[in-house]
Structure 1
């Protein structure tokens, strides 16, 4: 009954938050247990009564302040110091700069919008095809939901009721491995297609870029040191990051204009409202799922297929790759985590951190795959490239991401090694 109601409402084109809430209401009506209507508002608001969710608007604000304060441009210039001189240097710079920004933005859609404006025109000017330049930018944006801080990790931590700080730490090694995989892809493609030569900076230019970027590096440093050192919660770290981004943009780079603060806060408020409405609706939907004993039913089915945790993770990977093509990553996470996580923990004894990281990486792939592919269409709109131009050069990056998911599924210590 629940899958049928959910599928029917989804096909009608309703927003996913409304679909989740209405599915729960339909279940109560059809079951005849009308006393559950009294619990509906309580479950709805209880889902967002979580301190950790405050990190979401604060991380969004950090990203807005970073863009306004000129931090993005300086981090790109810093990346050029290290690898800008080699053949295909701008492609490497794109990935490395995305890696720097991933520790600040935490949202693939926001990151691809920013970096498409910064990197794609410059790569085109130096002889790269627009489709490849945009695909490289999209691939780099996949790092945003993995390298901490990450909104997906915050939401998963709230849903799983685990430490968001430890969830961030669990994403460090997978994020670095993903960046290394993307650099390997660029190296192999560069050998095959003979990318344009890099621009060699003088010693004075390198020194100037490094000195200019030092204040910008304070923003991720404040957040990461606070979280890893146990000095702050992720929410407090996000607030300190917003303060640091404001001070750096205003006094160090002198590019922050407070008259634009209203627009930034408006964008943060709208985006936060969208995310929290999903979380609230997921609260009542998850409540119905548990009431209907869906996780137990799924567990019995999966146990009949396999008792091997690795095979289970592979099955989940295939499921999420399919779901990610039709549902937004946050919506899919909110929908499936309450169903799959209890099975992973109770039946297969999989760490929630291990499962969460693999699940979030899975769903980031969906950001770049049609028919939804939100980040793909953002990049196409910003750069003017057709989606078909982007997808073909993007495939090797997606392939290396899938291989990474298989590796992480097989070797969970790559996720849990840094968690104390």
Structure 2
């Protein structure tokens, strides 16, 4: 009955946090182990008692401060200096700007929303098909869950009880590989469709654009540099980054007023609370997973099929692609990590860092695949384009992500090389 309730609620479009909590309540009631009700609220609260989770609202706040403070458009302009003169220059600018933003925002959905508003109209004005412009922007958003700081990595690190800073390091090479594969895709498409040739800025314009963006570049340097050099934890880096973003927007760019902070804090708190509540609900859902020995039963089934770690990861890829099509990435991560991680590490000897990168890339794919495809529909809404038109132009990017994902599955060193 508990499993039936889980499926009914899940496919009934009930928020995943409610699904997890109600499933746990149903299991306690069905099992007659009612003493667990006495500690239900305590267990939910314990799920949020992790210092690393504080990084989530802080990274969200950094993104909000950057948008309001005018830093986003200056980073886009700096990208124009570096690649704007290539054929299809605005497409390259779009992807490079998405790389910059991925190193700051950490959320694919937020990044797709922000960059769609900025880049799609600009690309359409220069003659690009609106569906292709939205597809390129949506594909660039896939970098956010992989290039640190990644919200998925923060949550996975909490669930897996591994250092979040090392998890960030594990995502750097795969994230750069994804970005590189996207540049190859747009180059091939540009040659086939003869994209308009871009124009390089004059030396004076380029210098002005770079100088204007240099202060904003302090933010990703503070985030990544602090973590890589061991100066600060991810949470501390996020706090420093949000402070830098506020000071730059207020004192340097003068587009952010202290009076706007209350609205920013409220918006950030509302968005972050959704994520944190999902983590809390996942903690009580873990009771069901533990008491029913689901990982052990699933491990017995999968190990009877294969003993090869790579084949196991291929099975996981197929399963997660289906899960990602139906459930939001963060919710899916919270749902599958407690079940699949013990199998990956215990039965196949797969590093939890490699497995985290594989799961995150896999679930990022689900953001842009029907029938749910949250990122796909956000791009469609922000760009005023049909989702089908975006998906028709998006498939080469998704194929590139699949190839990168296969490489990360086959060669663990791609995700482990930078971890000391």
**Band of TM-score, shorter chain:** over 0.9
Question: How far does residue 69 in structure 1 lie from its aligned partner after superposition?
Answer: 0.9
Contact 1:43-1:287 within 8 A present in 2 as well: no
Match of 1:391 in 2: 391
Contact 1:62-1:105 within 8 A present in 2 as well: yes
Map 1:3-402 to 2 at 5 A: 3-402=3-402
* SS of alignment partner, residue 47 of structure 1: helix
Q: 2:114, 2:39 → 1: CA distance? A: 43
Question: How far does residue 59 in structure 1 lie from its aligned partner after superposition?
Answer: 0.3
* SS of alignment partner, residue 148 of structure 2: coil
The Cα RMSD (Å) is: 0.9
Task: Write out the 4+ residue segments of structure 1 that deviate beyond 4 Å after TM superposition.
Answer: none
Q: TM-score, normalised by structure 1?
A: 0.99
Deviations 1:241-287 (A, max 9, x none): 00010111112211112222122111111111110110010000012
Question: How far does residue 3 in structure 1 lie from its aligned partner after superposition?
Answer: 3.1
* SS of alignment partner, residue 227 of structure 1: helix
Q: Which runs of 5+ in 2 are unaligned?
A: none
Q: Return 248-257 or 229-238, whichever deviates more.
A: 248-257
Q: 2:257, 2:393 → 1: CA distance? A: 38
Question: How far does residue 10 in structure 1 lie from its aligned partner after superposition?
Answer: 1.7
Q: 2:378, 2:226 → 1: CA distance? A: 32
* SS of alignment partner, residue 39 of structure 1: helix
Q: 1:252, 1:9 → 2: CA distance? A: 49
Q: TM-score, normalised by structure 2?
A: 0.99
Q: 1:210, 1:145 → 2: CA distance? A: 27
Contact 1:43-1:284 within 8 A present in 2 as well: yes
Q: Which runs of 5+ in 1 are unaligned?
A: none
* SS of alignment partner, residue 367 of structure 2: helix
Deviations 1:209-254 (A, max 9, x none): 1111110101111111111110111000000000010111112211
Question: How far does residue 38 in structure 1 lie from its aligned partner after superposition?
Answer: 2.0
* SS of alignment partner, residue 349 of structure 1: coil
Q: 2:78, 2:287 → 1: CA distance? A: 48
Question: For this pair of structures, how many residues does the alignment match?
Answer: 420
Question: How far does residue 34 in structure 1 lie from its aligned partner after superposition?
Answer: 1.6
Question: How far does residue 44 in structure 1 lie from its aligned partner after superposition?
Answer: 1.2
* SS of alignment partner, residue 368 of structure 1: coil
Q: Return 245-254 or 86-95, whichever deviates more.
A: 245-254
Q: 2:397, 2:263 → 1: CA distance? A: 35
Q: 2:170, 2:47 → 1: CA distance? A: 24
Contact 1:131-1:393 within 8 A present in 2 as well: yes
Q: 1:2, 1:335 → 2: CA distance? A: 15
